[in-house]
Amino acid sequence: MATRTTHHATRNGKPATPGEGTAAVLPEPQDPAPLADIGVPSPYALAELIAHRSIDWDSVPNRPALLEQIFQTPYADLFDPASGSPLYVGQTVQRDGTVLRGRPDFARGEGRSTASSALTDGDADGDLSDVRDLAQLVKRLGTQSLAEVPVRNAFASANSIVVELGETASARTLRFERLFDTRLIDILFPELLGYHPSGFAWQDVGRFYNEATEFLDPVQGYVGDCYVIAAMSSVAWSMPYVIADRTRATGMDNESFVHQIGFHGAHGLEQVEVTDRILVNSGSSVEYATSKEPGEIWPAVYEKAYAKWRLGEPTDYPAIPNIAGGDPSIACVALTGLSDYRNWHSSFTAAQILQLVKDHTVNGRTTTPMVSWTYGSGAQADVAYRDANVVAGHAYSVLGWMRRNELVHTSRITDEIIPAVTRPDLPFPGPGPVEVRGGPDLAGGSDQLGGGRVDAGITGRWIPGSGLFDHVVRPVDYVVLRNPWGYCEGTGSSVASGAHQARDVDWWRSVPLGTDGVFAMEINAYHRYFAGTGGAH
């Protein structure tokens, strides 16, 4: 289990301030211990482990429905531990928001309490048609009292009260027992050095690189190490030369060699040597971190090396599941050797967090690795993560920021409210025009509502020829993020569509939004849903 240690970023003996050397300097935040509790496994990889088969998720027409079927959990409840999600098995969120991790101890029938035994398979499936009073309900739900039954919703009608009950702790334990047999628990919570789980083998199944390091390459597996996978993606995006393949021969044949990978820790730069052998199942499917690029294994090799370094493993076979839970900012430091920083959103306004992202971004792209993380549960921030498809206790890569000109209309706008800018025609920074959502084609002057394009980046006013509406173009700022799962992008009205234009060293890159885990969230929503922003600089 990861432990919390006190660590403060320093630069020349002084606390490091985000934005140092720029015009905007944020006030010094409250900086508690690093986030040793951030980490959620990928539901897509974990579902394959539970189902005992590989799944081509790109070809699945309804991924949420399949996840619901495999996890026996509503999709909306998967991304918050308070909802009984199996993604957080072995995790307990404390009152202060910290997370305790440990191997779950399921009774498996023999030592199960009488109350738990009352929950038969039929009852767990929802057959309570013969219940006639609350006493029977308590008994059938396997609890000692009604106080142990959570209430999700309740409303009164003319002569009755309709109540939606949540899952009891006993019912949740039974569901987890069905999902995670003893073999799976041994795989997810190993106890020994020299990791050789039954049914798996360490094999060389690909090439370190196919072409080059790409930010979309690292895809997380069923280990809760999103903090380091997100850091890999952020480094590959902002500092691609850092990810390097350094090798040496260990024998005469072509297959005898090791990679040397360096990590920066408390003792400076430490070098780790690992082979190309990564853990695969009987079908030669990679078990942990993979690459979006078929046949490429550098994310898996880096994950293996990081686990060997962090766990102090002397062999070539580290127990990778034991690195679940960590600090994404510290992971950025480990990969780059820069100084870490973290800014808790509760200590700053949305405008200050946006400025922080801007200070580390040039032409839409971060120039040093930046990450963000969510609260251990949506209840801590008084938000429902299900509403935005955001994951609790999870780390994301921050790719940069962007501004969209969005068209709004109203039946009455006066010059006193909106300055009379007849047409926004100043050049917008970037390669070409940007999309305008929900309004007329400003470039053509049409007064028909619909999509449009505009070459400007200022607030303005456009009055169609019909005179029925006044239309206002207003700039909206977004933070561009990537979920290291490679899927499960944020959704809702605060998320932009289209593509993000970013200057990638010496060429303009168009990054599609809403795919491969990449999405753009409006700054106020980002400030609310995410607990903090940090990285290394």
Residue pLDDT tens, the chain, 537 long: 333 333 333 333 333 333 333 334 444 433 344 566 789 999 999 999 999 889 999 999 999 999 999 999 999 899 998 888 999 998 887 777 677 888 888 755 554 544 444 444 444 455 777 887 777 777 777 666 776 677 767 878 777 888 777 777 777 888 888 899 888 999 999 987 789 988 899 998 889 888 888 999 999 999 999 999 999 999 999 999 999 999 899 888 777 889 999 999 988 999 999 999 999 987 678 889 999 999 899 999 999 999 999 999 999 999 999 999 999 999 999 999 999 999 999 999 999 999 999 999 999 999 999 999 999 887 777 888 999 999 999 999 999 999 998 776 554 444 444 444 433 443 444 444 344 444 434 433 333 334 444 333 444 444 444 444 456 778 899 999 999 999 999 999 999 999 999 998 889 999 999 999 999 999 999 999 999 999 999
Quick one: 320 and 220 in the same domain? Answer: yes
Do 172 and 298 sit in the same domain of this protein? Answer: no
Question: Is residue 130 domain-shared with residue 194, that is, in the same domain?
Answer: no
The pLDDT value given to residue 109 = 53
208 and 163, same structural domain? no
Residue 148 is assigned to a structural domain of this protein: yes
Report yes or no: 164 and 152 within 8 Å, Cβ to Cβ.
Answer: yes
- How many distinct structural domains can be found in the chain? 2
Both 231 and 132 in a single domain?
no
Q: Percent helix, strand, coil in the chain (nearest 5)? A: 25, 25, 50
Distance CA 259, CA 302 (A): 9
Strands (E), 213-289: 218-219, 247-249, 257-265, 268-274, 278-281
Closest CA to 523 of 358, 361, 389: 358
Quote the pLDDT of residue 290: 94
Q: How far apart are CA 347 and CA 341, in angstroms?
A: 14
498 CB-near residues (< 8 Å, 6+ apart):
435, 513
- Please check whether residues 164 and 208 belong to one and the same domain: no
What pLDDT digit, counting tens, does each position of 265-323 carry?
A: 988 999 999 999 999 987 678 889 999 999 899 999 999 999 999 999 999 999 999 99
The SS3 call for residue 343 is: strand
Query: Both 120 and 162 in a single domain?
Result: yes
Same domain, 175 and 232: no
Quick one: pLDDT at residue 86? 93
Instruction: Report d(CA 277, CA 172) in Å as an integer.
Output: 37
- Is residue 393 assigned to a domain? no
CA distance 361 to 399: 9
Angle between helices 43-51 and 63-71 (to 10 degrees): 50
Q: What is the C-alpha to C-alpha distance for residues 74 and 386, in angstroms, rounded to an integer?
A: 11
State both tokens at 173.
Answer: 């334990």
Q: What is the DSSP letter of 475?
A: E
Please calculate the CA angle 399-26-376 and round it to the nearest 5 degrees. 60
Token couple for 420: 């009379």
The reported pLDDT for the residue numbered 331 is 96
Domain membership of residue 421 (yes or no) is no
Q: Is residue 154 part of a domain?
A: yes
Q: Which pLDDT value is given to residue 287? A: 87
- Inside any domain, residue 296: yes
Domain end: 146, 179, 212, which one?
Answer: 179
- 122/461 Cα distance (integer angstroms): 62
**Residue 35 has what pLDDT?**
60
Q: Sign of dihedral through CA atoms 50, 54, 55, 58?
A: positive
Q: Which two tokens stand for residue 392?
A: 């609790």
Residues 66 and 78: beta-carbon distance below 8 Å: no
**pTM for the whole structure:** 0.79
Q: What is the pLDDT of residue 237?
A: 96
- Residue 174 belongs to domain spanning: 105-179
What's the token pair of residue 175?
């569901």
Cβ neighbors of 135 (< 8 A, separation 6 or more) are none
Chain centroid, CA 396 distance in Å: 4
Contact partners, residue 244, CB within 8 Å, separation at least 6? none
CA distance 119 to 204: 46
Angle (nearest 5°) at CA 125 between 121 and 128? 100
- Among 162, 179, 196, residue at a domain's last position: 179
Instruction: Give the integer Cα–Cα distance in Å for 76 and 446.
Output: 41
Please provide the size of the chain in residues: 537
User: Does residue 371 lie within any of the structural domains?
Assistant: no
Could you tell me the two tokens for 54? 């590989």
Domain closes at, from 277, 308, 330? 330
Residues 231 and 280 in one domain: yes
CB 218 within 8 Å of CB 291: yes
CB 278 within 8 A of CB 196: no
Give me 135's structure tokens. Answer: 């006493």
137 plus 241 within the same structural domain: no
Which residues does residue 361 pair with via DSSP β-bridges, in sequence order?
366
Rounded to 5°, the CA angle 297-300-305 comes to: 125
State whether 194 and 260 are in the same domain.
yes
Q: Looking at the structure, do residues 62 and 195 belong to the same domain, yes or no? A: yes
Region at 349 (left for phi over 0; alpha for psi -120 to 50; beta for the rest): beta
- DSSP one-letter code for 326: B
pLDDT at 434: 42
- What pLDDT is recorded for position 505? 83
- Residue 283 is assigned to a structural domain of this protein: yes
Residue 344: inside a domain: no
Radius of gyration of the chain (CA): 26
